[in-house]
Each structure stands twice: as C-alpha cells, then as structure tokens.
Structure 1
C-alpha cells in the first residue's frame, strides 16, 4: 500500500488556461464562498448537461447538494472551478471534483462544463488538473459512473486514458476507470 495516502497539499495552486478559441479562464479550487455562483452555474446548464452530470434530471440544486459541492473535505475531496471575470465578478463556466473512499485508494470524479464553453478543451484541462491532484495525494484509481449515452464524456474519458466497462445491473450506465 502506498504510504502517502491522505496527503493534503498545504495550498492548492491556480492555473490560467487558454482554450482552443483563444479565450482564457482561471482554474482554482472551489470554496464555500462560491455557493451562489455554483447555484447559478448549475441553473445555467442545459437539461441534458444537468442530467449527464447528476445522472438524473434536476431543475435546481438542493441546499444539501450545494453544501456537498462547495464545502470540500481536504482529506478526501478536491474540487476545481474554471472561472471568467465579467464586470468585476467571477462566473463559473466549468467544475470538476473527486471524492475518495475512506482509505484514499480510489476516488470517484465528475466534470461539467457550461454548454457554451463545451468543445474548447476546458473539460480536458479541468480533468488533467484533478488527475494530478489525485496522483499527488497517492490515490491509486480514479473512476466515474456515467450515462452510456453521454458521447462527450466517453470521448473525454478515452482521450485521458480511462478504460470503460459496463455498470453491473444497469445497462444505461458505464464506469470509466483510470489507474493512477
């Protein structure tokens, strides 16, 4: 067993990212102060993007869901947001996170990008940073449970080196796995 499980960086870095269309975003850790921005981000997603991200239809996130999304356990979780600065205020345009099991060997991840920002490499950038954080913490395997119909996620997962397998007992779902 790896001896560095549960290692938490003393500070989380931030990155500036130039996307395919030349636009720039800042990728940084999500914080409790992002609660209303996260609510607006989720509300601004198309029905399909929300269904793919949350594996079911939601119209708006519950208060409990928002708590889980913005209040990160620094031992078991990591969460990143991609933000733009508009009228002196940040706007979330993408988010990625993972949550590890209690022994920090495996983690489940998720990523979502605002519909108008999709296809620019933002999901790839968010996931690459998330994978690097998981590796630095000594996590051995990252996985994601997704709808089998989600072609964009399948393409991203394959591009990043994830393997795919069927979800036992539910043909509508697949599991993507990446050994770290």
Structure 2
C-alpha cells in the first residue's frame, strides 16, 4: 500500500486526509470521520458478517443505534477520535470500508481503541494504517497508553497488535478476551536555557 499525503495538510497532523492506494489497485481516503458519514457507516454495518460484528463488538449486534452513530460521528475534541477508510468521495456519499476510534479514559492518560475492517477491504494493510493514525492522535493529545480488549480467536488483530509492539495479557473482563496495550513514548522535552 502506498500513501500520498494531501498537499493541503501538514504531514504530521492526525486530522489529515491521506490517499491510500491498496495492493489490489483500489484507492481509499483515510480521513477523520464526519457527521455526514453516519448513514454510510450504518449502511456498511448491514453488509458485515456476523463474525465481523462479533469480533469488533465482542457479542452479536443487529444494528447500530442512532445514539451510538451520533456519538461516533461527533467526536469530542481532545477526548475521542475516529477515522475512516472510505471511497474518494465527499463524506455522506462515500462508502466506508473501515473505521477506527479512540476514546480517552476519564481522567487518565490512557485510551481504549477499536478497529473494524470490512471483509470487502481486509488483507490490504488498512488495520496498520488505522492503528498508526490512532497512535499519532494519542501522542498529539498526551495519551501515554492505548489498549483494547480482543477475542482470543481474533488472530488477525492480535498479530497486527504484536507486530506494532503491543503487549498482551488476559483481560479482567472475560477469560476468552485478551487485553492488548501499547505504551507510548513520553513527549520529548526541550532543554531549559
């Protein structure tokens, strides 16, 4: 997958839009979620397999509630961040093939992540691209640890996390869950003069 950065945005801003060329030749935009993405996200959810939904939500979910969708597409500045991999069309018109979000834990310098990549675009490196964007946002907002609970059978997510330096341990929530965590480097401090 090659990445071309949008010329109108600085290259190190997590809120930028990147053009991703997938190995299969398709082009997607990796960009922050927008309010207009609510309907395309709901529509894409209906195309997911039961297994994809269970691996992301850890239990069966029939549909995304309107309240959940509104929370997802209206991130709270400095507290939540969501990014999508979508067709190169305006928000609201673009099909959304993958989504990642990060929610800061209340009063802490840690945040929970979640990633969902549809089978329509899986195996194309999107999980790594989404996770890198979440890490960039976390670092830019003073978050020192990101974590997520993953079903122990979700070998693709576990392999991605381990390849990116995450550690794994049994989740306190359930014996069939792993908690994967990534400690981020503290910010570099400039020497005092």
Residue 123 of structure 2 is matched in structure 1 by 119
Q: TM-score, normalised by structure 2?
A: 0.83
Shift of 1:169: 5.3
Q: 1:33-75 CA distances to partner (integer Å, 9 max, x unpaired)?
A: 1110110121111111111111110111111221222121112
Question: Structure 2 stretches of 5 or more lacking a match?
Answer: 1-11, 185-193
174 and 36 in structure 1: CA distance in 2 versus 1, 3 angstrom threshold: same
Which one has more relative contact order, counting CA pairs under 8 Å at least 6 apart? 1
* 80, 84, 94: which one aligns with 1:81: 84
Question: Structure 1 stretches of 5 or more lacking a match?
Answer: 1-8
Distance 2:30 2:88 in 1: 12
Radius of gyration: which is bigger? Answer: 2
Residue 39 of structure 1 is matched in structure 2 by 42
Q: TM-score, normalised by structure 1?
A: 0.88
The answer to whether the aligner puts 1:179 opposite 2:159 as a matched pair is no
* 93, 105, 111: which one aligns with 2:109: 105
The 3-state SS of whatever aligns with 2:182 is: strand
Q: Would the aligned equivalents of 1:82 and 1:94 in 2 still touch at CA under 8 Å?
A: yes
* 174, 179, 183: which one aligns with 1:170: 174
Residue 27 of structure 1 is matched in structure 2 by 30
120 and 57 in structure 1: CA distance in 2 versus 1, 3 angstrom threshold: same
Q: Which has the higher helix share?
A: 1
Count of aligned positions: 171
Q: Tell me how large the CA RMSD over aligned residues is.
A: 2.0
Shift of 1:89: 3.1
The 3-state SS of whatever aligns with 2:124 is: coil
Q: Would the aligned equivalents of 1:76 and 1:104 in 2 still touch at CA under 8 Å?
A: no
Residue 21 of structure 2 is matched in structure 1 by 18
